[in-house]
Amino acid sequence: MISNRIRRFAHNASIRTRLALAFSMLLGLSLSVSLVALHRFETLSTSMHEFVDQPVRLAFLAQRANHHSQYAAIQLLRLLQTPGRAQRVALYAEMDAAMAASDAAIGGLARAAELTYQKNDIAHITTLRQAYGSLFQETVELIEIEGLPQAREHFEQHTDAALNALLRESLRLAEYQRERMNLAVENFEQSASRTRWLIAVITASALLLGSMLALLISRSIIAPIGEAVAVAETIADGHYHKQIPRGRGPEMRVLLRALATMRQSIMLREERISRLAYVDTLTDLPNRTHFMERLAIARSRGHGALLLLDVDRFAPINNALGHVVGDRVLSEIASRLNACVISPHMVARLGSDEFAILYEGVDRAASAGHIQMILDALHKPMLLDGQRLDIDVSLGVVFYPDDGDDLTALLRRADLAIKAAKRRHDRYAFGAEFEDVVRHEQLTMLGDMREALARNEFIIYYQPKMNLVSGRVAGVEALLRWHHPTRGMIAPDLFIPFAEQTGFIREITPWLIQEVITQAARWRSDSIELVASINISALDLLNPLLVRHVTQALEQASLPAKWLCLEITESALMEDPELANSHLNTLAQTGVKLSIDDYGAGHASLAYVKTLPVSELKIDRAFVSQVDQLHKNAAIVRSTLLLCRELGLSVVAEGVETASELQWLQVNQCDQAQGFYIGRPMPLEALHAWMTSYHADNVRPHVELRS
Ligand code: C2E
Ligand code: CA
Ligand code: CA
Question: Which of the pair, 382 or 249, is modelled with greater confidence?
Answer: 382
Mean pLDDT value of segment 239-258: 85
Q: With contact defined as beta carbons under 8 Å apart, do 286 and 357 qualify?
A: no
464 phi-psi bin (left φ>0, alpha ψ -120 to 50, beta other): beta
**Please, which residues have CB within 8 angstroms of residue 227's CB and are 6 or more apart in sequence?**
245, 247, 248, 252, 256
Choice between 348 and 47, residue whose per-residue pLDDT is larger: 348
| pLDDT above 80 (res 650) | yes
Query: Which is it for strands 593-599 and 564-569: parallel, antiparallel or unpaired?
Result: parallel
480 Cβ closer than 6 Å to some ligand 1 atom: yes
Measured N-to-C along each axis, helices 160-236 and 249-278 cross at an angle, to the nearest 10 degrees, of 20
β-bridge mates for residue 466, sequence order: 473, 673
Q: Which of 49-58, 221-230, 363-372, 428-437 has the highest mean pLDDT?
A: 363-372
Residue 699 has pLDDT above 70, yes or no: no
pLDDT tier at 696 (50, 70, 90 boundaries)?
confident
Q: Cα of 672 to ligand 2 centre, how many Å?
A: 14
Residue 706 pLDDT exceeds 50: no
What pLDDT, on the 0 to 100 scale, is given for residue 541?
93
What is the pLDDT at residue 226? 85
Q: Whose CA is nearest to atom 20 of ligand 1?
A: 655
- pLDDT grade for 443, boundaries at 50, 70 and 90: low
* 336: CB partners within 8 A, 6+ apart: 377, 378
The ligand that comes nearest to the alpha carbon of residue 465 is 1
Q: How far is the CA of 97 from the centre of ligand 1 (A)?
A: 156
Instruction: Identify the CA nearest to 661 among candidates 624, 623, 620, 635.
Output: 624
The burial of 10, by beta-carbon neighbours within 10 Å (0-12 exposed, 13-18 middle, 19 or more buried), is given as middle
Please report which ligand is nearest the Cα atom of 701: 1
Backbone angles phi, psi at 330, to 5 degrees: -65, -40
Q: Which residues contact 345 (CB under 8 A, 6 or more apart)?
A: 357, 358, 359, 360, 362, 370
Minimum-distance ligand to the CA of 655?
A: 1
State the pLDDT at residue 441: 58
Ligand 1, atom 12, residue with closest C-alpha: 655
How far does the centroid of ligand 2 lie from the alpha carbon of residue 489, in Å? 19
Residue 442 confidence class, pLDDT cut points 50, 70, 90: low
pTM: 0.50
3-state class of 480 per DSSP? Answer: strand
The pLDDT-based confidence of 603 (bands split at 50, 70, 90) is low
State residue 300 phi and psi, 5-degree precision: -75, -20
Binding site membership of 598 for ligand 1 (Cβ less than 6 Å): yes
> Would you say residue 3 has pLDDT above 90?
no
Ligand closest to 466 (CA) is 1
**Per-residue pLDDT, 705:** 47
Q: Whose CA is nearest to atom 21 of ligand 1?
A: 655
Ion ligand 3 nearby residues (CB, 5 A): 597-598, 654
Average pLDDT estimate for 370-381: 92
pLDDT at 677: 96
Summarised one tens digit per residue, pLDDT across range 197-229 is 888 888 888 888 888 887 887 787 788 888 888
User: How far are the Cα atoms of 13, 242, 278 from residue 238, in angstroms, in the given order?
Assistant: 32, 10, 18
DSSP code string of 46-103 = HHHHHHHHHHHHHHHHHHHHHHHHHHHHHHHHHHHT---HHHHHHHHHHHHHHHHHHH
How large is the average pLDDT for residues 638-666? 96
* Helix/strand/coil (H/E/C) assignment for every residue in 383-442: EECCEEECCCEEEEEEEECCCCCCHHHHHHHHHHHHHHHHHHCCCEEEHHHHHHHHHHHH
The pLDDT of residue 435 is: 57
Residue 488 DSSP symbol: E
Q: Is 493 in the pocket of ligand 1 (CB under 6 A)?
A: yes
Residue owning the nearest CA to atom 13 of ligand 1: 655
What are 487-536's pLDDT values in tens digits? 889 899 888 988 887 889 999 999 999 999 999 999 999 999 999 999 99
User: Would you call 706 exposed, middle or buried from its count of C-beta atoms within 10 A (0-12, 13-18, 19+)?
Assistant: exposed
Q: Is 374:309 a contact under the CB 8 Å cutoff?
A: yes
CA distance linking residue 631 with residue 475, whole number of Å = 30
- Among the listed residues 637, 640, 636, 702, the one whose alpha carbon sits nearest the alpha carbon of residue 665: 637
pLDDT at 660: 96
C-alpha 594 to ligand 2 mean position (Å) = 11
> Which residue minimizes the CA distance to atom 17 of ligand 1?
655
- Averaged over 232-238, what is the pLDDT? 88
Residue-averaged pLDDT of the chain:
87
Q: Which residues contact 562 (CB under 8 A, 6 or more apart)?
A: 531, 591, 592, 593
- Is the pLDDT assigned to residue 698 strictly greater than 60? no
Query: In the beta sheet, which residues pair with residue 653?
Result: 619, 673
pLDDT at 50 over 80: no
Which ligand has the shortest distance to the CA of 478?
Answer: 1
- Range of 10-19, 268-277, 324-333, 518-527 with top mean pLDDT: 518-527
10 Å Cβ neighbour count for 48? 16
Q: With bands split at pLDDT 50, 70 and 90, how would you rate the model's confidence at 707? A: very low
Contact 398, 305 (CB under 8 A): yes
Question: How far, in Å, is the centroid of ligand 2 from the Cα of 598?
Answer: 7
**Cβ atoms of 501 and 559 closer than 8 Å:** no
Residue type, 380: K
The residues near 128 (Cβ < 8 Å, ≥ 6 apart) are 162, 165, 166, 169
Determine the residue of 465, 479, 500, 513 to mutate for testing ligand 1's pocket, defined as the one with the most ligand atoms within 8 A of the Cβ atom: 479
Q: Which range, 38-47, 128-137, 259-268, 521-530, has the best average confidence (pLDDT)?
A: 521-530
How far is the C-alpha of 254 from the C-alpha of 572, rounded, in Å? 62
> Of the residues 535, 546, 676, which should be mutated to test ligand 1's pocket, given the most ligand atoms within 8 Å of the CB?
535
Q: What local confidence, expressed as pLDDT, does residue 332 receive?
A: 95
